[in-house]
Structure 1
Amino acid sequence: MASNSTVSDLRKVSEVTDDEITAAVDAVLADLASKAYPLAKGWVLDLVAAIAGHKASQDALLTDWDAYKRNMLRTEILLAHPVKA
């Protein structure tokens, strides 16, 4: 896979699982300071940069709606571009 692939692209070719994406969402909710999050099979995702580039995810973190937060964070993680470590 090319280095400009999104997490969604990696999910489609089974490089990343749904459980690993859910774990990344949990990591953001637990500690947004996670810069180099080990996603899967040598792929690393900068969670801070992913969220910083997505205003809707930033806004979602300020709400009390857990399902909305999770959906917005999952969307942003799917759109993010991890790098191969």
Structure 2
Amino acid sequence: MARDPATVSELRKAAEVTDQEVDAAVDAVLADLATEAFPLAKGWALDLVETLRTKTRAAEALTTDKPAWKRNMVQTAILLANPIKG
């Protein structure tokens, strides 16, 4: 059985993605959800629109007026996402 590409969390543990790069992706989502190909780190890219589309709890959090909740849910969605090497 083929394994899915690494998640952002796994790449972070392997030191291929930094906390600052994850924070930058979260900031990009909160600033402009239309960002699709976000350059994450060292050749890794993340489709932020697709990430939020597949993580409905994070998408729902964006409609609230609770900034900390939005940020935490978006960060969780990004950490669980599978970036593309490119």
Q: Same fold, TM exceeding 0.5?
A: yes
TM-score band (shorter)? over 0.9
What is the Cα deviation at residue 3 of structure 1?
A: 6.7
The count of aligned residue pairs is 84
Q: Which amino acid aligns with 2:44?
A: W
Query: In 1, Cα distance between the equivalents of 2:41 and 2:61?
Result: 25
| Alignment RMSD (CA, Å) | 1.2
In structure 2, the residue matched to 1:52 is 53
Indicate the SS of the match to 1:44.
Answer: strand
Gaps of 5+ in 2: none
Q: Which amino acid aligns with 2:46?
A: L
Answer whether contact 1:25 1:70 (CA < 8 A) is retained.
Answer: yes
Query: In 2, Cα distance between the equivalents of 1:37 and 1:19?
Result: 14
The 1:57/1:71 distance shift into structure 2, 3 A limit, reads same
Query: Under a length normalisation based on structure 1, what TM-score does the superposition of the two structures give?
Result: 0.95
Task: Give deviations 1:22-56, integer Å, cap 9, x for gaps.
Answer: 00000001110110000000000000000000110
Deviating above 6 A after TM superposition, structure 1's stretches of 4 or more consecutive aligned residues are none
Query: Under a length normalisation based on structure 2, what TM-score does the superposition of the two structures give?
Result: 0.94
Indicate the SS of the match to 1:62.
Answer: coil
The 1:3/1:39 distance shift into structure 2, 3 A limit, reads farther
